[in-house]
Structure 1
Amino acid sequence: MPRVLLVDDSPTDIANLRKMLEKNGFEVVEALTGESAIEKAGVEKPDVIVMDVVMPGMNGFQATRTLSRGAETSNIPIVVISSKSQETDKLWAMRQGAREYIVKPVKESELITKVNGVISA
């Protein structure tokens, strides 16, 4: 069972995304901040990280950059999820190390396709 580290500060978004992922056979571990995502990624060694952008403290772009450059976490693919829909936001996420970008509201089919895609890449 592939393990997903789900990073979001919204309990509603966490619940919705968790439901989509678990329904499709993923084990879900949660982090509510960018800082805790970095800590949990090193300990949990997830197969993929699903990262929100807008969070208090360290945002998702900063956490993605840190994770993608970390010795223990650079091989973990990151899928960024954001309400930011500009092409520049997507390009910035990719420059920080994200492998995929999904604009909210998240469609289950898109989430599962992109998560499976980065795991098998």
Structure 2
Amino acid sequence: MKIKKILVVDDSPTDRYLLADILIKQGFEVETADDGDVALNKMRLFEPQLIFMDIVMPGKNGFQITRQIARDPDLKHIPVIMCSIKGQETDRIWALSQGASDYIVKPVDADELLVKIAAVVQ
């Protein structure tokens, strides 16, 4: 499957912009959301093929939203890559146990980001 549509979920306008900018320059169609509830609505409308999910957000955090995606029959096919400033190994392990496909630490390196995307489609 070739990924074309990506949803970026992050409460930081700067982080949303930086990640979206990298992805758009690589030819992806990008939609953004600033919290988990908005993200869940956009998933159903935009139908992304990949989601980049921040962890620390107001309301439901990224772990909770990822767990919700993994349990939803209509959404569980969408891979989630957690994208956070939380760089501890325990955060990565917890993210994967919640249903995330991978984990990347901010600030995001464009080359590493593309490697992570390629790995998800394998």
Tell me which interval the TM-score lies in, with the shorter structure as reference length.
over 0.9
Partner of residue 44, structure 1: 46
Matches within 5 A, 1:67-86: 67-86=69-88
Matches within 5 A, 1:99-114: 99-114=101-116
Partner of residue 30, structure 1: 32
Partner of residue 67, structure 2: 65
The amino acid across from 2:62 in the alignment is G
Please say if residues 7 and 52 of structure 1, whose CA atoms lie closer than 8 Å, have aligned partners that are also in contact: yes
- Structure 1: gaps of 5 or more residues: none
- Structure 2: gaps of 5 or more residues: none
**In structure 1, what is the Cα distance between the partners aligned to 2:114 and 2:48?**
16
Aligned residues: 120
Tell me the percent identity.
47
Shift of 1:117: 2.0
Secondary structure in 2 matching 1:102? strand
Please say if residues 34 and 59 of structure 1, whose CA atoms lie closer than 8 Å, have aligned partners that are also in contact: yes
User: Scaled by the length of structure 1, what TM-score is found?
Assistant: 0.95
Please say if residues 85 and 103 of structure 1, whose CA atoms lie closer than 8 Å, have aligned partners that are also in contact: yes
Q: Are 1:2 and 2:9 matched, yes or no?
A: no
Please say if residues 38 and 66 of structure 1, whose CA atoms lie closer than 8 Å, have aligned partners that are also in contact: no
Secondary structure in 2 matching 1:71? coil
**CA RMSD between the two structures:** 1.0
User: Scaled by the length of structure 2, what TM-score is found?
Assistant: 0.94
Runs of 4+ in 1 over 2 A off after TM superposition: none
